[in-house]
Chains A and B, each alone.
Chain A
Amino acid sequence: MSVMDVFQQGLTAAQAMGWMQVLLSFAIAQQSLEHLARGDRMIFVPRLILCVVMGLGVGGAWPVWGLWGISLAMLWRYQGPYNGGSDKMTMLILSCLSLAHMAPTPFWQEMALSYLAVQLVLSYFVSGWVKLVNPEWRRGEALCDVFRFSAYPVSEGLRRLADQPRFLFVMGWAVILFELVFPLSLLDPVALKLALLCAAGFHFSNACFFGLNRFFWIWLCAYPALIWFQDRIFG
């Protein structure tokens, strides 16, 4: 099978759910181990055990429902997300997977997966749109400010990138344009896979510059839903 064949392949709903559960078991285990290093064993030991169970593919839907319940407990424990958007995405994927497992008919299962796929597309498009309508982003100043004084750069040395306004202007516009055109990739299975590779690269760079490692892993977990969705709607 050539690379092109792989890129043109879609997924069935069951395959997409299976892939998401395997990827989720890794991503949530990674989060849980980081938490365990800080304490909070009451929440994160059970969470880690459920990840292993889900990763091994045993227990059917129960580990997914268990992880959903624990994510709810985490929202209460931290009075909101611990890690911003990555916790939100974790909860969103678990909610959609939980509903897909509970769905009485394939139609409702597809609705749950479609909701996740649409939210994934919106996560890029809305993020691009709010930047486009902000003059500071259009002028390239916003990305300079991110490096100059925001809490995100992982080292003081990285702040010197704020002194490269032309480079950040180009990078800022590259991010805005990529996020805005991302939905168009749904029109073709190969374009979608390439767009997902670019998106993964974008998350990887955010992890390197801003320490957002959990975003990288958790966004990958939702990609099978979008690959299934593209095939289901446009395939």
Chain B
Amino acid sequence: MLRLFALFLPTVIPSWRFFKTVAPSPRIEYRLISGESKGRWQEDRPRPEHLGGWQILGRMLWNPDWNEQLYLVSCSERLIEAPSQHSIDEINLRVAKALPAGSGDLQFRLVFLSREGKQIVKLVEYESAPVSLASLKGASA
């Protein structure tokens, strides 16, 4: 009950501090592991190079993929600030859902981008334990 109250309170007394600072920004990268063979790290749902005007307007009404991506950004930030199994499960399930079915394990890591002087630096802040892709696909079905 106390937890629910803690989740509810910021919605009725919001801080409204949008973009107070531009904090290090998370990206989710994943790889597939099959036995001893570890695949290369790949960015989860890389954004397109270009979006046309009609696509942007269409997204005003229908934008489920991008909104899920924003939720995964929140889960990534929460995982660093206050680690929880919930955040790990949500990322695992949603990364797995976007992948074709297969055997082996799925592992993800969180890479944070930030600016140091004029350079953009990448820092790996978290690496998950590998989980069976088949079990994740089954759970997200």
Instruction: Mark the stretch among A10-18, A103-111, A210-218, A223-231 that contacts chain B.
Output: A210-218
Instruction: Mark the stretch among A1-9, A127-135, A190-198 that contacts chain B.
Output: A127-135
Which A residue sits closest to B14, measured CB to CB?
A88
Q: Does B38 contact A (CB under 8 A)?
A: no
Total A-B residue pairs with C-beta atoms closer than 8 Å? 135
Dominant secondary structure at the B interface: mixed
Please report the C-alpha to C-alpha distance between residue A86 and residue B128 in the assembled complex, in whole angstroms: 29
CB contacts under 8 Å to B, within A130-150, are 130-131, 134, 136, 142, 145-146, 148-150
Please report the C-alpha to C-alpha distance between residue A156 and residue B46 in the assembled complex, in whole angstroms: 9
Please report the C-alpha to C-alpha distance between residue A149 and residue B47 in the assembled complex, in whole angstroms: 12
CB neighbours of A127 from chain B (8 A) = 16-19
Which B residues have a C-beta under 8 Å from some C-beta of A?
Answer: 4, 7-8, 10-12, 14-22, 25-27, 47-51, 56, 59-64, 66-71, 73-74, 78, 84, 86-87, 90, 113-115, 120, 140
Q: What are 28 residue pairs bridging A and B, where the CB atoms are less than 8 Å apart in the complex?
A: A34-B63, A34-B64, A34-B67, A38-B64, A72-B4, A78-B71, A79-B84, A79-B86, A79-B87, A82-B67, A82-B71, A82-B74, A83-B67, A83-B71, A85-B18, A88-B14, A95-B12, A123-B14, A127-B18, A130-B17, A131-B20, A142-B22, A148-B115, A149-B120, A207-B59, A208-B56, A211-B59, A216-B60
13 more contacts with CB within 8 A, not counting A146-B19, A151-B70, are A30-B61, A35-B64, A37-B64, A75-B7, A78-B90, A79-B7, A89-B14, A148-B115, A149-B113, A154-B56, A154-B66, A207-B60, A213-B63
